[in-house]
Amino acid sequence: MSSVLQGYRRLSVDIEAMRDMRREVRDKWKMILENLGFMAEAESLLTVSTSASCDRMRNAAVARSLLQTLHTETSIFNRKEAPPERYLFILDRLIYLDAAEDFVAKARRFYPPKDDDDDDEEDNTGRINLPLLLSRMNQNISGGEDEDEEGETTGPED
């Protein structure tokens, strides 16, 4: 019985770590979008529904290429795993808005690729991610945002 309980605890920790990682990636994307001037649109640009289909994408090949560029030339994503497919849809929207290249340029500047040695937690604890810090400070100043149980941020009620 204790091994089952220990397994559930380990699974719970793994799920929470995955959620934290997803939140961190989403925060990075949101900060870059806001920096590009998409203050009001950032949340809707980052929203991808389950009905989204590659068939409906206008620029799937270009979006895939840009996603690969972001994966290899920035530290937005975990380099040991493939980037989430949902970001293809977001990049497709940015291509349509003629903002994808600007997004990639900002991503390269704000989140340069990490050295393989930088993957250790101990090495990263002394670093401050200034763009992410400023983005979170702006959220707190502008009325604060709450997190629901799914980990998605929601704005103040109107």
Query: What are the domain boundaries of the chain?
Result: 2-116
Distance between CA atoms of residues 52 and 32, nearest Å:
23
Burial of 136 (0-12, 13-18, 19+ CB in 10 A): middle
The Cα angle at residue 125 between residues 135 and 154, in degrees rounded to 5: 30
Higher pLDDT, 150 or 77: 77
The model's pTM: 0.69
- In this prediction, residue 83 has a pLDDT band, given cuts at 50, 70 and 90, of very high
The amino acid at residue 142 is: S
pLDDT attached to residue 6: 77
The Cα angle at residue 132 between residues 128 and 137, in degrees rounded to 5: 100
Distance between CA atoms of residues 142 and 62, nearest Å:
35
Note the pLDDT tens digit of each residue in 25-37: 999 999 999 999 9
Q: How much is the mean pLDDT over the chain?
A: 81
